Structure 1
Amino acid sequence: MPVCDLFVRPRAGVFRSCCRTWAPLLAAACSGLVSVQSVFAQAADTPPIDLAMSFRPTQADVDYERVDKADYSKCTIDVERQGKASGWVVSGPEGQILRRFLDTNGDNVVDQWRYYDRGYEIYRDMDTNFNNKVDQSRWLNTGGTRWGIDTNEDGRLDRWKMISAEEATREAILAMASGTASRLERVLVNAEEADQIGLAPPMKKELLANVSGAAEKMRQRVSQTKVIGQGTQWVRFDSSMLMPYVIPADEGKANADMLVYENVMAIVETAGETGFVQIGEVLKVGDAWKLTQIPAPIEGDMLQITDGGVLMQPTSPANQAGMLSQSDITPEMQKLLTDLQQLDSNAPTPQSTAADLARYNSKRVEILSGLLASAQSEDERVQWLTQMIDGLAAAVQTGKYPEGVRQLTAVENDLKQQRPKSKLIPYTAYRRLLADYTVKLQSAMADAEKREELQTWWLEQLKGFVEQYPDADDSADALLQLAITEEFSGNADTAKKWYTQLVDTHPKTDAGARARGALKRLSLEGKSISLSGKGLDGKPISLANYQGKAVLVIFWATWCQPCTEDLPQIKALYDQYRSKGFEIVGVNLDTQRELVAPYIAEHGNSWPHIAQPDGLDGNVAVDFGVISVPTMFLVDKTGKVASNSTSVEDMKELLPELLE
């Protein structure tokens, strides 16, 4: 590599003291007389701006902020120190941060190179073993979630320590477009990762077969399609589900719970034409999402959607047999298992007709009933019954199988007669209730009066379930639904009653934690509030820093339409009263962080925001029992809550009083 090219790569220390000046050393470095490393090792003074701006990330696809050379004179470089860490911060013509070069371990050698865009750090190169070579690279904030490891420090990433499902599909598409098999292999599940989650042997074998020979399969698929080629760009991640599914460990597919996206599609663009690439199932291993098959470009206009990949197939003989010893499987049972496997392999798709779904579920109930009758232990019987109950409930939720309500009722009645103390009775009863509500809601959608009657009926059903099965696991969810419904209806006192009962009877559940937060939120008025967290840029934000100001706290998300509709009025109030001591702190509940910065740039809500990447399940949202957005609190100058359920109209009325 030419010596001058080393200016663009973070290779060595910057802080060792020397009395030499920069100019002669830079000239010597570019002439080949000395190395860039020696320049940085010897230089004591602040580096010139052209040198600082010449550094570039080790990875190519980083969209960081650059400045024209003509504007270099308007940039500044300042020394900063935090404990034993020290370094330089480079600021742009408008005062925005452009770069940071840091020595984090106090050895006077730079080991972190940080790059920014519009004030947000979006990428970081790191030398974690302090040998003057980059071994880790991270994309941050609006740059994404990727965290790559370069084991041999050659500038090419060897594995992903962290990567989102969306970015994993992007990496796969760009790998195929560039013909880089190693890049694709980094986002495919491997044997070590299959062992990490304890994948069942048959499933492990099938998944690894799907991803084997990646280089040749990739070459063949790209050679036979016009959907992917040189210059193809990844546009979007798409899935038949809005959120990943959890496959519990007790299904026997793995030793730990698995998070899986099903029917994932990548939308791409090649030479101005939009195309689709079938990704299939995407599996989370640790903090990294991995593809379980080689992406397949889709030709023509027909999207090839299927229901259930290798991981998401209903529990079938392939894994159930693994939970039974071979000697326990009778010929009759083996035939039923085979029938079930064949049936599930041809399960209906979301596009199937109601008649197809009815035939499938009727046959499945028949097979499971046979397996239930031939089961030789109580655990096996519970297993097959649970499958039957879950399958029927899921079928009703599709809106195409109302018959499932009758069948669930029959299962519930049989359990009451034959196993009156079984925990499956409340389990079945709750799913029968949910199924019944789904069917009734469909028929009442067009009639407001019927919907109101249905809501009353539903509350009565939930109350009856809680009274009959107070200790059932599903009672926690029933109580939460009761409380939320009453709160939305404006019945705060009744809501508090249900929240309190939930906290008392199911304190260790997720629903119990949210109920505690809701009780706290409903009683906030007149009390001091403590709120803190990391901002979108990773820096701490705390309400304690706003003493003496009136503060509006907004829980919001980019997908929340009322949040967007309220923004113009909130911004107008912010502009009107900010000079008088009014501030706003947002709590962002987006799980897709890449959506936030563009939204803020478009809508101008550029006040500080605490980031909650887990959305409504984040610690701040749960701590205040937030159940919908926007949720707003208005805090007075003393730090006490003036309104715990604030609307824009409330703000117009209260702000003049609070700011007097």
Structure 2
Amino acid sequence: METQRKLKGQGTRTLMLAATMLLTAVMAHSASGQPPALSVEEALRRQPKYPGLLISTPPAEQWKTCKVEPILNPKDGRTPLGYVVRDSAGLPLRQFVSYDNQSYNIVAYYYNGVEAFREVYPTRTTEPVQYRWLGPNGSKWGLDRNRDGLVDEWVVLSPEELSQELLQAILTRDSRRAEALALNKSNLDYLGMPADKAGPLLERAARVGQRVLEAAEQLKLSPQTRWGHLELAPPQTIPGDTWNLRDDWITHKQAMLLVYDGETARFLPLGEMVLVGRAWKLIDGPSLGQMSTTSQGPVITDAIKDLVAQLHEIDQQTPTPPTAEALASHNAQRVKVLEQILAKLPEGPQQEPWLRLLIDSLGGAAEGDKADGSYLVRLRQLKERLHQASSPLAAHAAFRLLLAENSLALRSASPESFAAVQEKWRKALEEFATTYPDSEDAPEAVLRLAMALEFTPQGESKAREWYTVLTTRYRQHSHAAKAAGAIRRLESVGKPLSLTGSLLGNGQTFDTSSLRDKAVIVYYTASWSSTLAEDARKLQSLLRDYGPKGLELVVISVDDDAKAAAEALTAHKMPGIHLFAPGGLDKSPLANAYGILVVPHILVTDKKGIIINRAAQMATLEEDLKKATQ
């Protein structure tokens, strides 16, 4: 509800989260009416309003193997409220939902069985059409207020997606598309920005459209120009209570966009951007003038532009598979180029963004090197130099050094020394978190510390304290959701299980509350889990023995890719109900719901839906089931 209220505050009025909208659609649907008829051909010929999206559409000769299935209204279990079109393997291709029995109000497009784009057409013409980029297509969420097929405002937009939209506005000389990216009055009204500060900000943002046209005229980019990379200055935060705002004022003071026009690298400063709700907004827009040397953003001069292009080429060749040795070699290449870049820049603010990249690359190279390797030595020396200079990057160098040293220590640890290595790791993390509480790496350090404490005897209460730090002091950070879920898990025994997610394969919503009078195993796994094959065989056996006694299995894959998840579960004949949400172990809403840190992880409930074991082990799982199925 908080997200919904924030979006409404930005002027969206009736914007709903997807699940809420679908529920409203179902409840409003008339049991006596039916949505328009739909054929496979009609469904698959329909394409998204926006081009260039990853969606699955089989060749026309395979359409005869596809089928249309009704989505039944839960109110009567008979009347369709829409249709799902599936391919020959049963994976969804399109989904159409109607809640006015006249047209399709929600149209969803899928890619490899995962929803990839959604169009929402409310019945009231005063409400905006919504477009959502999902799954492999990103995270954008745009509103089309006048229903002309173009986004007027973004309510979810990452910095990278903002820069991609801006590039398209430049290439098409579309000032309106650019203006949809700019900070506006409703954004500042929502935040409660004082008038004396709002006025200058709006004056700057009002020039975004004109700046796009000027950039297009000066750059004269070819239509084939492609997006390369977005380099951002570190985020800066002004607490909301400083200006009496609803949210914190979070900005990137500078951004530099790298694009490729054929083989030519071009660099475009984008100025300042600010986070409003879940969307980044432009304050300045593109400028071809030289960036100020006092700026915290990356300066790309003629002297280094060829080296930056080399760096981009290296980044396009990320090793697959990403073994420690391959990643170390990859980072070593980056170190070589970054050191050349720094040598061509004057000391001071111009070097800072490149120093940050060098720190990260030295850390990555050191993790795959020897314990006394040159990259670790250079990282230590750089960290000391930055500390002595009181550089704002000293904390970042200290954290990367901490990570590299721990990685190397774990690689060489013996069974006898492992506990000592872990104890040193926990102490180092706590020291970092208390020494650098305002650093950008502090939330990451706190999460790792809480995780490490949770897996020690009598460490859970201390872990809960650090998770709470994440949900309070660092509540705006993405790790806060994982921490909140972890607290929920640690306190879950004796409480009802509550999980809602999409079924792997058809994308339909599933809620564990529907498993009434069933004992439930919730098994978190991934295609890369080393225990998956053995666990699948054990779970098959347990279901054969305890299924007749009221046992159900819910399997949650935390893979990044739905196809990989489906293939792995099918290959190992994993039984049960399979759920999936994009984001992987770190960001999947299903993983974050209970703060899952590693896989496999097992929860067990009794027949009343109450969690009786929040960290069950496969070796002793049958003992839990004897109690759960009584």
TM-score greater than 0.5 by the shorter chain: yes
Change beyond 3 A, Cα 1:578–1:147: same
Structure 1 counterpart SS, 2:520: strand
- Name the CA shift for 1:545/1:249 in 2 (closer, same or farther; >3 Å): same
| Preserved contact between residue 519 and residue 552 of structure 2 (Cα < 8 Å) | yes
Q: Does 1:581 align with 2:550?
A: yes
Q: Match of 1:649?
A: 619
TM superposition shift of 1:499? 2.7
Instruction: State the shift of 1:629 in Å.
Output: 1.6
Which residue number in structure 2 is paired with residue 487 of structure 1? 454
Note the aligned Cα RMSD (angstroms). 5.5
**Could you tell me how far 1:516 is from its partner in structure 2?**
2.1
Secondary structure in 1 aligned to 2:539?
A: helix
Give the gaps of 5 or more residues in structure 2.
1-33, 46-56, 120-130, 139-163, 182-210, 236-250, 272-285, 320-325
Give the equivalent residue in structure 2 for 1:566.
535
- The total of aligned residue pairs comes to 463
- Is the Cα contact below 8 Å between 2:497 and 2:611 reproduced in 1? yes
Q: Normalization by structure 1: what TM-score?
A: 0.55
Q: Distance in 2 between matches of 1:462 and 1:640?
A: 35
User: Equivalent residue of 2:304, what SS?
Assistant: helix
**CA, structure 1 residues 122+531, in 2 after alignment: closer, same or farther (shift >3 Å)?**
same
For residues 141-184 of structure 1, give each alpha carbon's deviation from its aligned partner in whole angstroms, at most 9, with x where no partner exists: 754555599xxxxxxxxxx98586699xxxxxxxxxxxxxxxxx
The Cα shift of 1:548 comes to: 2.0
CA spacing shift, 1:166–1:604, aligned 2, 3 Å: farther
CA contact (8 A) 1:524 1:644 kept: yes
Residue type of the alignment partner of 2:608: T
Instruction: Give the secondary-structure state (helix, strand or coil) at the position aligned to 1:610.
Output: strand
Identify the match of residue 557 of structure 1 among 526, 539, 547.
526
SS in 2 for 1:140: strand
Give 2:392's aligned residue: 423
CA distance in 2, matches of 1:138, 1:604: 29
Paired residues for 1:211-226 under 5 Å: none
2:571 equivalent to 1:594: no
* Distance in 2, Cα, partners of 1:344 & 1:79: 52
Query: 2:499, 2:593 within 8 Å by CA — same for their partners in 1?
Result: no
Work out the CA distance in 2 between the residues paired with 1:257 and 1:119: 47
Number of the residue aligned with 1:368: 342
Based on CA coordinates, which of the two structures has the bigger radius of gyration?
1
Classify the secondary structure of the residue corresponding to 1:583: strand
| Map of 2:582 onto structure 1 | 613
Tell me which amino acid in the other structure corresponds to 1:342.
D
Provide Cα deviations, 1:615-654, integer angstroms capped at 9, x if missing partner: 3212232121111122111101222111111122332112
**Aligned equivalents of 1:394 and 1:477: distance in 2?**
16
For 1:392 and 1:433, locate their aligned partners in 2 and report how far apart those are by CA, in whole Å. 12
Hey, what's the Cα distance between the residues in 2 that align with 1:513 and 1:327? 37
Question: Are residues 1:61 and 2:76 paired?
Answer: no
Instruction: Give distance in 2, aligned partners of 1:204 and 1:575.
Output: 67
Tell me if 1:460 matches 2:460: no
The answer to whether the 8 A contact 2:304-2:341 is kept is: yes
SS in 2 for 1:561: coil
CA distance in 2, matches of 1:471, 1:574: 50
TM-superposed CA distance for 1:360, in Å, is 7.4
Partner of 2:208: none
Contact 2:40 2:63 (8 Å CA) reproduced: no
Distance 1:508 1:210, change over 3 A: closer
- Segments of structure 1 that go 5 or more residues without pairing to the other structure are 1-45, 69-75, 89-101, 105-111, 150-159, 168-187, 213-244, 261-280, 284-291, 295-308
Q: How does 1:93-242 map to 2 (within 5 A)?
A: 114-115=85-86, 117=88, 121-124=92-95, 139-140=109-110, 142-143=112-113, 145=115, 191-192=168-169, 208-210=223-225
Match of 2:189 in 1: none
* Residue 622 (str. 1) matches residue 586 (str. 2): no
In structure 1, how many angstroms separate the alpha carbons of the residues matched to 2:447 and 2:336? 33
* Alpha-carbon separation, structure 2, partners of 1:655 and 1:355: 48
For 2:446 and 2:611, the matched residues in 1 are separated by 27
Amino acid in the other structure paired with 2:428: Q
Helix, strand or coil at the partner of 2:595: coil
| Residue in structure 1 matched with residue 487 of structure 2 by the alignment | 519
Deviating more after overlay: 608-617 vs 319-328: 319-328
Q: Counterpart in 2 of 1:182?
A: none
Identical counterparts, % of pairs: 21
Counterpart in 2 of 1:635? Answer: 605
The CA deviation string for residues 483-507 of structure 1, in whole angstroms up to 9 with x for no partner, is 2223344554343343344445433
Query: What CA distance in whole angstroms lies between the structure 2 residues aligned with 1:583 and 1:565?
Result: 19
Cα deviation code 1:422-460 (max 9, x no counterpart): 533322221232233345556x27x55565554343333
Cα separation, 2, equivalents of 1:353 and 1:545 = 45
**Letter paired with 1:629:** V
- Higher relative CO (CA 8 A, sep ≥ 6), structure 1 or 2? 2
Between the aligned partners of 2:233 and 2:71, the Cα distance in structure 1 is 55
The code of the aligned residue for 1:389 comes to: I
Which structure 2 residues correspond to residues 225-304 of structure 1 after superposition, within 5 A? 247=230, 249-250=232-233
2:359 paired residue among 384, 389, 392:
389
Q: Residues 618, 410 of structure 1: CA spacing in aligned structure 2 closer, same or farther, 3 A cutoff?
A: same
Give the counterpart letter for 2:339 in structure 1.
V
The answer (yes or no) to whether the contact 1:399–1:438 under 8 Å persists in 2 is no
CA drift of 1:479 comes to 1.8
Given the superposition, is the C-alpha separation of residues 535 and 246 from structure 1 closer, same or farther in structure 2, using an over 3 Å criterion? farther
Tell whether the 8 Å contact from 2:341 to 2:354 is kept in structure 1 after alignment. Answer: no
Give the deviation of 1:658 after TM superposition.
2.5
How big is the shift at 1:566? 0.5
What's 1:12 paired with?
Answer: none
Equivalent pair of 2:135/2:582 in contact (CA under 8 Å) = no
C-alpha distance in 2, partners of 1:353/1:580?
49
Distance in 2 between the 1:113 and 1:607 partners?
A: 22
Q: Per-residue deviation at 1:526?
A: 2.0
Aligned pair in 2 of structure 1 residues 566, 65: CA closer, same or farther (>3 Å)? farther
Deviations 1:269-298 (A, max 9, x none): xxxxxxxxxxxx9x9xxxxxxxx899xxxx
1:543 has 2:512 as partner: yes
Equivalent AA in structure 2 for residue 418 of structure 1:
A
Does residue 342 of the first structure (1) align with residue 306 of the second (2)? yes
User: In 2 relative to 1, CA 479–455 (structure 1 residues): closer, same or farther, beyond 3 Å?
Assistant: same
Mark the CA change 1:458 to 1:574 in structure 2 (over 3 Å): closer, same or farther. Answer: same
Partner residue of 2:380?
409
